Amino acid sequence: MLLAVTLAPPAAAQPRQPPFEPSFLLPVDPVWTTVLDSGPRHGPAYDSLRAYIALRNGTLAAVELQTGEMVWTVEQELDHQPAVGDGVVVAAGGSRLVGRRASDGLTLWSAEFGSAISAPPLWNTGWLVAATAAGEIVVLRGFDGTELWRSALGATATVRPAIGGERLYVALADGRIVALALGTGALIWERALPGRPQGILPLDALFVGSTDNLLYRLRLADGAVDWYWRTGGDIVGTPSADLEHVYFTARDNVLRALDRRNGARRWRSVLGGRPAAGPIRVDSVVVVAGVSPNVDLFDAKTGLPRGRYEMSSELAAPPHVIPTAHSPSPKLVLVTGTGEVVGLAAAAGPPHLPFGLFFEPLLPRPPEVGLADFVDWFPASRPDPPPPFPAVLTVPGLEDPLPPQATAPFSVPTR
Digit-by-digit pLDDT tens for the chain (415 residues) are 445 555 555 444 444 555 788 888 888 889 999 999 999 999 999 999 999 999 999 999 999 999 999 999 999 999 999 999 999 999 999 999 999 999 999 999 999 999 999 999 999 999 999 999 999 999 999 999 999 999 999 999 999 999 999 999 999 999 999 999 999 999 999 999 999 999 999 999 999 999 999 999 999 999 999 999 999 999 999 999 999 999 999 999 999 999 999 999 999 999 988 999 999 999 899 999 988 899 999 999 999 999 999 998 999 999 999 876 555 678 999 999 999 999 999 886 554 433 333 333 445 556 554 433 433 333 333 445 555 545 444 444 444 444 333 333 333 343 3
Closest CA to 335 of 28, 78, 68: 68
- The closest of 390, 28, 24, 27 to 216, measured between CA atoms, is 390
Selection from 255, 150, 133, 262 nearest residue 205 by Cα: 262
Closest CA to 323 of 352, 293, 297, 299: 352
DSSP state of 25: T
Of the CA atoms within 13 Å of residue 194, those in its CB half-sphere come to: 11
Q: How far apart are alpha carbons 197 and 214 in whole angstroms?
A: 9
Residue 347 has what pLDDT?
A: 80
404: left (phi over 0), alpha (psi -120 to 50) or beta: alpha
Q: Say what the pLDDT of residue 5 is.
A: 53
Cα angle at 283 between 279 and 288, to 5 degrees? 20
Give the pLDDT of residue 20.
87
CA dihedral defined by 157, 161, 167, 172, rounded to 10 degrees? Answer: -20
Contact 27, 349 (CB under 8 A): yes
- Residue 226's pLDDT is what? 97
pLDDT at position 291: 84
Alpha-carbon dihedral sign for residues 271, 272, 274, 276: negative
Return the SS3 of 105: coil
Classify residue 373 by its DSSP letter: T
Contact 314, 383 (CB under 8 A): no
Give the per-residue pLDDT at 414.
39
Q: How many CA atoms lie within 13 A of 39 on its CB side?
A: 9
pTM for the whole thing? 0.81
Please check whether residue 36 is in contact with residue 55, taking contact to mean a CB–CB distance below 8 angstroms. Answer: yes
228: burial class by Cβ within 10 Å (0-12, 13-18, 19+)?
buried
